[in-house]
Amino acid sequence: MAVYVSAVVTAREGRGEELGRELAAVVAEVRREAGCLRYDLHRADDGVRFLFYEIWESPAHLEAHARSAHLAAMRAATADLVAGPSDVVLWEALDVAK
């Protein structure tokens, strides 16, 4: 069963550009992870909020992603750039085409 994830990361005041660069730096590596079906980064028009939209093949693949070394490195690199914890939501697809 696919797992859909949205994760919103907010920059500290004046740190949006720098945070955006750090977040973007991990995208290519994450896309190469086993089970990654989609991993996209978006920036809000306010320049301080960033959205990761992710689709993972299974919960196990998402768990492996959460434990990956490159994600840990990104968290360390952005610790002083973020305004607080990320807002992460797991989503379930609804079959509405019946």
Residues 60, 65: Cα–Cα separation, whole Å: 9
Confidence (pLDDT) at 98: 72
CB-side exposure of 79: number of CA atoms within 13 Å?
Answer: 6
Per-residue pLDDT of the chain (98 residues; tens, 9 = 90+): 899 999 999 999 999 999 999 999 999 999 999 999 999 999 999 999 999 999 999 999 999 999 999 999 999 999 999 999 999 999 999 988 87
Would you identify the CATH topology of the domain 3-91? Answer: Alpha-Beta Plaits (3.30.70)
The model carries a pTM of: 0.93
The residue extents of the domains of the chain are: 3-91
Confidence (pLDDT) at 97: 82
- Strand ranges across the sheet with 87-91: 36-43, 49-56, 3-10, 87-91
Confidence (pLDDT) at 96: 85
Confidence (pLDDT) at 45: 97
Confidence (pLDDT) at 58: 97
